[in-house]
């Protein structure tokens, strides 16, 4: 009993502490804004020096080189020597579905069972979380909120990170179903992992379990496809949730890392007329031709990591994205966790440092991501007609040393860039008489 009381007390204390500095969502844009003199990184590979970007009513009106400020009361933001970027997008994250890792009641990213296509992450998304504000301060203004666990985890949705509730936040509802491809346990040593032996395991039994899991997934897909083509009298919630992946309106993201699993996952999806997105892709660089031939996008997970095998180049996780992108594969960069999402731009910076053109690296967290999530018609690049979701950085936003976001807009709304980390910095800087940033 004391354990539960302690947990309740800690969670209540945390809630009270966080509630002391509530940040309200920004109000709707009411005045035309023109940002002038900046280096504009469009997001599609184009860079405009000394450019002007104008937006009104939440939409971009024009992006030009040395354009004039519109007449009629437009507000000018002078940004000479600074950089303007499209808002970064964090894919495949449980952001907003978890708050305190030590308190089970605040973890809402996984359900019981293996086949959960009916689970919708969007309705569990917590806009009152203190984490998104820390992301906005580094230019991450949108995210794909994704469930975890099981073989079929459920559907993700795309949101913007400054909203009163999930209804206000949503950009695209139920954009994709997420599948964890059944795999064998990986036994490896070195690189921080303990060396495992096969002596305590029966390889044949493990392979049999994996084959059975794939067979179950295949049977579920076959049943769901038949259900989608029929007009059943009784609604099956799980099967009904699969309908839109067969008509192409909802994508399928499959987590697979080894080259054999990647090939198997793609061929499985093709069997049902689906072009999947591969998530993880640790060994994707070994099957670049296969991925390109099948028009497969890859969401690279955690470029700042160690290789999966002792035989791999120790720098391969850094190089993987560049190898794929330079071969013509559409690459998206992601990072694990939710607090860690604030470091997403630096993952793209690492990919750039290890062989990918800087503007192409930028696309891995902007336009490429928007295309994979099906929202590229409205966001992902700075082009007329798209949402005015963008930010101004004093320096290179992909460089940890120079990233300094001083102003950000989501759909034209001038958002508050304060966050819990900045509040704590000010608090203790004042306590010890340090210079307050």
Examine the fold and report which residue of 323, 345, 376 is the final residue of a domain before the chain moves on.
376
27 class by beta-carbon count within 10 Å (0-12 exposed, 13-18 middle, 19+ buried):
exposed
C-alpha closest to that of 135 among 291, 365, 360, 430: 365
CATH at 402 = 2.30.40.10
Do residues 267 and 355 both lie within one domain? yes
User: Is residue 36 included in any domain, yes or no?
Assistant: yes
User: Is residue 220 included in any domain, yes or no?
Assistant: no
CATH at 244 = 3.20.20.140
Number of residues written out for the chain: 437
Q: Output b/e per residue, 75-112; b: 16+ Cβ within 10 A.
A: eebebeebbbbbbbbbbbbbbbbbbeeeeeebebbbee
Residue 30 in tokens: 């009411």
Q: What is the rounded (10 degree) CA torsion for 429, 433, 435, 437? A: 20
Examine the fold and report which residue of 376, 391, 414 is the final residue of a domain before the chain moves on.
376
Do residues 276 and 290 both lie within one domain? yes
User: Is residue 228 included in any domain, yes or no?
Assistant: no
Residue 240 main-chain phi, psi, to 5 deg: -65, -30
Three-state DSSP at 299 gives strand
- State the pLDDT at residue 106: 64
- State the pLDDT at residue 258: 92
Three-state DSSP at 382 gives coil
User: Is residue 33 included in any domain, yes or no?
Assistant: yes
User: Is residue 195 included in any domain, yes or no?
Assistant: yes
CA distance 170 to 121: 11
Residue 87 contacts residue 46 (beta carbons within 8 Å): no
CA distance 141 to 87: 5
CA distance 310 to 193: 11
Three-state DSSP at 3 gives helix
Do residues 307 and 405 both lie within one domain? no
Do residues 269 and 170 both lie within one domain? yes
CA distance 32 to 53: 11
Do residues 56 and 118 both lie within one domain? no
Answer left, alpha or beta for residue 58, where phi above 0 means left and psi between -120 and 50 means alpha.
left
Question: What Rg, from alpha-carbon coordinates, does the chain have?
Answer: 23
Run of H or E residues at 267: helix 259-271
Do residues 76 and 103 both lie within one domain? no
Do residues 38 and 126 both lie within one domain? no
How far from the centroid of its chain's Cα atoms is residue 376's Cα?
A: 14
Do residues 106 and 244 both lie within one domain? yes
Do residues 93 and 81 both lie within one domain? no
CA distance 246 to 189: 41
Residue 415 contacts residue 408 (beta carbons within 8 Å): yes
Alpha-helical regions (H) of 140-202? 166-169
What is the layout of strands, in order, in the sheet containing 331-334? 88-93, 140-145, 152-160, 170-180, 251-256, 277-280, 297-301, 331-334
User: Is residue 226 included in any domain, yes or no?
Assistant: no
User: Is residue 340 included in any domain, yes or no?
Assistant: yes
Do residues 305 and 163 both lie within one domain? yes
Three-state DSSP at 431 gives helix
- State the pLDDT at residue 34: 95
Angle, helices 203-229 vs 259-271, to 10°: value is 30
Do residues 171 and 186 both lie within one domain? yes
- What total of structural domains would you count in the chain? 2
Query: How far does the chain reach from its first CA to its final CA, in angstroms?
Result: 44
How far from the centroid of its chain's Cα atoms is residue 367's Cα?
A: 12
* Cα–Cα distances in angstroms (integers) from residue 364 to residues 43, 54, 324, 426, in the given order: 9, 25, 12, 33
Q: Which DSSP string do the residues of 26-64 spell out, in sequence order?
A: PPPP-S-EEEEEEEEE-SSS-EEEEEEEEEETTEEEEEE
Do residues 81 and 110 both lie within one domain? no
Examine the fold and report which residue of 342, 357, 376 is the final residue of a domain before the chain moves on.
376
Q: How many CB atoms lie within 10 A of CB 344?
A: 26
CA distance 191 to 307: 8
pLDDT in tens, the chain (437 residues): 344 444 444 444 444 344 445 688 999 999 999 999 999 999 999 999 999 999 999 999 999 998 778 877 789 999 999 999 999 999 999 998 877 666 666 666 667 788 899 999 999 999 998 999 999 999 999 999 999 888 999 999 999 999 999 999 999 999 999 999 998 766 555 455 544 444 456 788 888 888 999 999 999 999 999 999 887 878 899 999 999 999 999 999 999 999 999 999 999 999 999 999 999 999 999 999 999 999 999 999 888 888 888 888 999 999 999 999 999 999 999 998 888 999 999 999 999 999 999 999 999 999 999 999 999 999 999 999 999 999 999 999 999 999 999 999 999 999 999 988 888 888 898 888 887 65
C-alpha closest to that of 267 among 227, 228, 214: 214
- State the pLDDT at residue 49: 94
Domain residue limits at 322: 88-204+239-376
User: Is residue 234 included in any domain, yes or no?
Assistant: no
pTM: 0.89
- State the pLDDT at residue 234: 80
Q: How many CB atoms lie within 10 A of CB 146?
A: 25
CA distance 152 to 9: 35
C-alpha closest to that of 162 among 427, 395, 394, 387: 387
Q: Which residues pair with 62 in a beta bridge?
A: 54
Q: Which residues pair with 65 in a beta bridge?
A: 51
């Amino acid at each position: 009993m004391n354990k539960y009381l302690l947990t309740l007390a800690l969670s209540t204390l945390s809630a009270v502490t966080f509630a002391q500095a509530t940040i309200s969502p920004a109000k709707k844009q009411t005045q035309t804004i023109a940002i002038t003199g900046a280096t504009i990184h469009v997001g599609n590979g184009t860079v405009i020096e000394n450019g002007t970007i104008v937006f009104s009513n939440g939409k971009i009106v024009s992006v030009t080189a040395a354009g004039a400020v519109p007449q009629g009361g437009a507000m000018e933001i002078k940004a000479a020597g600074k950089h303007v970027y499209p808002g970064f997008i964090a894919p495949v994250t449980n952001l907003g579905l978890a708050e305190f890792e030590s308190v089970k009641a605040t973890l809402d990213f996984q359900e019981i069972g293996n086949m959960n296509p009916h689970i919708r992450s969007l309705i569990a998304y917590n806009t009152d979380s203190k984490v998104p504000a820390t992301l906005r301060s580094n230019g991450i203004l949108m995210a794909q909120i994704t469930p975890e666990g099981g073989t079929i985890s459920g559907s993700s949705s795309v949101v913007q990170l400054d909203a009163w509730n999930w209804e206000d936040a949503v950009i695209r509802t139920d954009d994709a179903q997420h599948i964890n491809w059944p795999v064998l346990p990986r036994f490896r040593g070195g690189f921080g992992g303990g060396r495992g032996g096969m002596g305590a395991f029966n390889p044949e039994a493990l392979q049999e379990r994996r084959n059975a899991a794939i067979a179950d997934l295949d049977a579920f897909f076959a049943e769901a496809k038949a259900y989608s083509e029929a007009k059943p009298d009784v609604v099956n919630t799980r099967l009904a949730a699969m309908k839109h992946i067969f008509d192409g309106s909802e994508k399928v993201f499959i987590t697979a890392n080894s080259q054999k699993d990647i090939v198997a996952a793609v061929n499985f999806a093709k069997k049902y007329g689906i072009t999947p997105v591969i998530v993880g892709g640790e060994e994707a660089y070994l099957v670049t031709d296969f991925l390109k031939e099948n028009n497969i996008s890859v969401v690279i997970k955690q470029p700042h990591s160690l290789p999966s095998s002792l035989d791999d180049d120790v720098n391969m996780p850094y190089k993987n994205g560049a190898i794929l992108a330079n071969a013509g594969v559409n690459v998206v960069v992601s990072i694990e966790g939710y607090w860690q999402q604030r470091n997403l731009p630096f993952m793209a910076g690492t990919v750039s440092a290890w062989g990918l053109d800087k503007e192409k690296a930028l696309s891995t967290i902007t336009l490429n991501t928007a295309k994979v999530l099906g929202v590229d018609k409205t966001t992902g690049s700075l082009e007329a007609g798209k949402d005015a979701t963008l930010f101004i950085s004093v320096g290179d936003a992909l460089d940890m040393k120079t990233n300094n976001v001083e102003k950000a807009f989501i759909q034209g709304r001038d958002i508050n860039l304060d966050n819990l980390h900045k509040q704590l910095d000010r608090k203790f800087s004042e306590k010890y008489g340090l210079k307050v940033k």
